[in-house]
Amino acid sequence: MDSEIAVSYKERVKVLVVEDEKNIASFVRKGLEERGFVLDVCHRDDEGNELATTQRNDVILLDIMLPGRDGLNILLGLRERNNAVPVIQVNQKPETGNTFDLQPGPHQIKAAR
């Protein structure tokens, strides 16, 4: 069991952060990089969409309320391409019900306040 855990820590997780608020993106970057994650951070919808669809990501942290194309459209594009990468949706609004049909698998909703 310990050897399995050691192997998993050697494999660095690739996270794509798509967040237009630069101070939030910086905070997230600092915290995740300190814990050994490999990050790509972008602040624009077009760049986020390109990185989400053209590179391998282990997980995507996606702001739903981006200027221009919103994060839901980026997520929809991924799912239409059968890309099942896990997506953590960031939303400043307390809504939770508008994206379930865009995600495969069981759903968990956790509010961070």
Residue 111 within a domain: no
Considering its fold, how many domains does the chain have in total?
Answer: 1
What pLDDT is attached to residue 95? 61
β strands within 29-86, DSSP E: 38-42, 59-63
Q: Which of 32-46, 47-61, 68-82 has the lowest mean pLDDT?
A: 68-82
Q: Given the DSSP bridges, would you call strands 38-42 and 14-18 parallel, antiparallel or unpaired?
A: parallel
Residue 79 within a domain: yes
Summarize pLDDT for 29-50 with one digit per residue, the tens.
999 999 999 999 999 999 999 9
The pair of structure tokens assigned to 17 is 């952060």
Domain at 28, CATH number? 3.40.50.2300
Specify the pTM: 0.76
